[in-house]
Amino acid sequence: MSATTLDDGATPIIGMREIGDTGVVVHPVGLDGSVFGWAAGVGDTANVLDRFRAAGGNLVSTADHYAGGRSEIMIGSWLRTVGDRGSVVVATKIGRHPDTPGLSRRSILRAVEASLDRLDTDYVDFLSFDGDHPETPLDERLEAVDRLIREGKVRFLSSYGYPAERIDEVERLATESGYPRFRAIIAEYSLVEREHYETQLQALAAESGRRAFAHSPLGNGYLTGQFRTRDDTPTSIMFDGALQHAGRRGTRILETLDEVATGLGQTPARIALAWVLVKPGIAAALLRAKSAEQVEEAMGATSVRLTRHHLGQLERASAH
């Protein structure tokens, strides 16, 4: 897990990372299960997960409402083939499934039981509150998760869609009352979506005890370079959000990615992922992949070594 700094000023070689002080160690490229059961069918999902694990990947993130629960079911079917459950870090989110909406105590307990059933596992490693749901008091939510942790059904609590002030409030309640604290933060972060993470969450993610998982690190596919103008048509519904980034700034970013990628003999997607992975507080980037080939492409990002000059180029190009 140690990093080696290169004499040429390149960023450290990217290796396995520990999530704060949890003892959980993850490969820096994780899988975003939102495409399973939606853009990827049963066969493709199994192939993606098998290739991911063979390449050293171990973090799989999903949500109870993805594809109406089919994402969790597909991951659960695959988990049965793994044998060693402890070798896979499973994260899921609750709060938006139509059968267990919201984050009341009753909804949390029922939602987790349903997720465990679909995932065919006794526990999840990280359970995220999917959105803030301010209609339910924080202490009610935290008491429910505390019960689940004591029962061994959840290992750690994480957040998704929480502003910094609410994360701070959870930390205060945890300190005062012994409630679980957020040990991971799932947040959108990429060269095209920098501001929220860097101004609101980066300092929190870099604190001892927690880290961040970068959601949509390729900007919904835009940073692969497949889409250059708003006239380009995505080949998959996975990439429907990509074209929102097209424009003057997006073009500037893609041109810089192309330049850096050409100089290093890499692809724009790998450069974009490598940039995310060397940023403060980031433990892993959660990739959407519907094929084994996309997994192999992403895993290659861990061999990319960006110099300080490269980082400067990318950050200037992506500045607002």
Instruction: Answer yes or no: is pLDDT of 271 > 90.
Output: yes
Mean pLDDT of the 167-189 span: 96
The answer, yes or no, to whether residue 13 has pLDDT greater than 50, is: yes
Q: DSSP state, 238?
A: G
Fold of 17-246+267-305: TIM Barrel (3.20.20)
Give the pLDDT of residue 38.
Answer: 87
pLDDT per residue as tens digits for the range 189-236: 999 999 999 999 999 998 878 999 999 999 988 999 876 665 556 566
pLDDT class for 242, splitting at 50, 70, 90?
A: low
299-319 average pLDDT score: 96
Identify the pLDDT of residue 73. 97
- What pLDDT shows up at residue 4? 36
Instruction: Name 172's Cβ contacts closer than 8 Å, sequence gap at least 6.
Output: none
Q: Which of 188, 192, 189, 187 is nearest to 318 (CA)?
A: 192
Strands 29-32 and 59-61: parallel
For the chain, give the percent of residues with pLDDT over 90.
83
Out of 47-51, 62-66, 148-152, 205-209, least confident range: 205-209
pTM of the predicted model, to two decimals? 0.92
Give the per-residue pLDDT at 221: 87
pLDDT of residue 81: 95
Residue 270 has pLDDT above 70, yes or no: yes
Other C-beta atoms within 10 Å of 26: how many?
Answer: 22
> What local confidence, expressed as pLDDT, does residue 11 receive?
61
Q: Span 36-61, mean pLDDT?
A: 94
Burial 281-311 (b: 16+ CB within 10 A, else e): bbbbbbbbbbbbebbebbbbbbebbbbeebb
The overall average pLDDT reported for the chain is 91
pLDDT at 244: 73
